[in-house]
Amino acid sequence: MMDPRTRALHALARLRKTEADQAQAALAQALADERTASGTVDACRARIESERVAATGDITLAEAFRDWLPIGREAVERAQEALNAARRASGQARAAMIRANAALKAAQAIVDKRQEEENEIRARREQAEIDDLSRRNSMTLT
């Protein structure tokens, strides 16, 4: 049977484990969002290039491309801003995960130390009982 302090320490370790799991999930989502944002930037840039290639050699298409190009560049700029925000978010999520893992490790170290102390106390009690029984037996035999 665990004493109240040990139960509380185990509860703390479980809480820290839950927090670490949540932080890891948040980081995974942030990284996925970052990949998506990066793909959007690439797609916007690829569209500009494809429109430029399509406009090559045709005056009408070249004029339409020239008129559309500021819109395409604005789309790239917006996508790049979204990518930068996603990178900041994933950096924050990474830092939160590192903090959560450190807290979990610290809580687990405390639980392990407490368990070790309890094992030592139990071993000393058992040895004391064995010594006591041994003394009683030797007194009865003499």
Q: Could you report how far apart the first and last alpha carbons of the chain are, in Å?
A: 39
Q: Higher-confidence residue: 66 or 136? A: 66
State the average pLDDT over residues 35-64: 95
Contact yes or no for 127/64 (Cβ under 8 A): no
Q: Which pTM was predicted?
A: 0.77
Q: Per-residue pLDDT for 1 more than 80?
A: no
Extract the tokens encoding 127.
């040895």
pLDDT at 127: 93
Residue 33 has pLDDT above 70, yes or no: yes
Q: pLDDT-derived band of residue 135, with 50, 70 and 90 as boundaries?
A: confident
The CA-CA-CA angle for residues 84, 88, 93, to 5°, reads 145
What's the rounded Cα separation, in Å, for the pair 48 and 58?
Answer: 16
Name the token pair of 110.
Answer: 């405390």
Q: Kindly report, residue by residue over 53-84, the tens digit of the pLDDT.
A: 999 988 999 999 999 999 999 999 999 999 99
What is the rounded distance in angstroms from the CA atom of residue 105 to the CA atom of residue 126?
Answer: 31
Give the DSSP H/E element, type plus range, for residue 89: helix 59-141
What is the Cα–Cα distance from 68 to 62, expressed in whole angstroms?
A: 10
